[in-house]
Structure formats: structure tokens, C-alpha cells
Amino acid sequence: MTRQVIRKPHPTADARKTTGTSSTPTQDESIFLAQDQHDSPAQLAERWALSPDCIRDLFKREVGVIIINRPEQLHKRAYSTIRIPRSVSHRVHCRLRSK
């Protein structure tokens, strides 16, 4: 007996379809992002003169940001490592400038 998992679409999935944006990069975008230089929140915070916490909040839901989660273990808390490609930080910077 096999179990079938049915996933419901995310509420913003329909909005992405109508706006033409995607939550996952295409294969070409993925290759480009992999070759792009990546910054930690602390490095980007220093360049932008903001706090690392502010950078984490700005980028936690951005497409293209790499988040590596280490789950909680017996006596160790969970950690998340964030790396932000330069192209993504440039895109966010342009968006913030245009507001």
C-alpha cells in the first residue's frame, strides 16, 4: 500500500502566476546564482551600514537566497546559515531605492 501526498498550492502561488514571478529560479538562473559571489548577513550589513538582524529580515523570503538549516539536537539549538548572492542583494537594493 503506497501513500500519496497531496500538496495544496501556497496562497501566493496564484499571485506569482499572474505577476510573472516565480518562487524558484530556473535552471539558467540557478547556474548564474551558483557562480555569483555570496555574502553573509554580517558582510552585507557592514556594506549597507545596517545591522545583521535587519539584513536577515530583509532577505529571509527573497528568491535566490540560500538558507542552510541545521536541526535541533539533544543539547544543541537549531542554527540557520544564510548566504545572499550579490545579484539578489543588488535586486533588493534597487527595489528599496525605488520606493
Domain boundaries along the sequence of the chain:
27-97
Q: Which pLDDT score is estimated for 35?
A: 80
Per-residue pLDDT band at 8 (split at 50, 70, 90) = very low
What are the grid coordinates assigned to 33, written together?
546564482
In the predicted model, is pLDDT for residue 16 greater than 90?
Answer: no
pLDDT digits (tens, 9 = 90+) for 42-91: 999 999 999 999 999 999 999 999 999 999 998 999 999 999 999 999 99
Taking CA atoms, 16 is separated from 2, 24, 54, 96, in Å, by: 32, 11, 25, 20
Instruction: Please write the tens of the pLDDT for every residue from 17-33.
Output: 434 455 666 777 777 76
CA distance 25 to 31: 9
Alpha-carbon torsion angle 92, 97, 98, 99, nearest 10: 100
pTM value > 0.75 = no
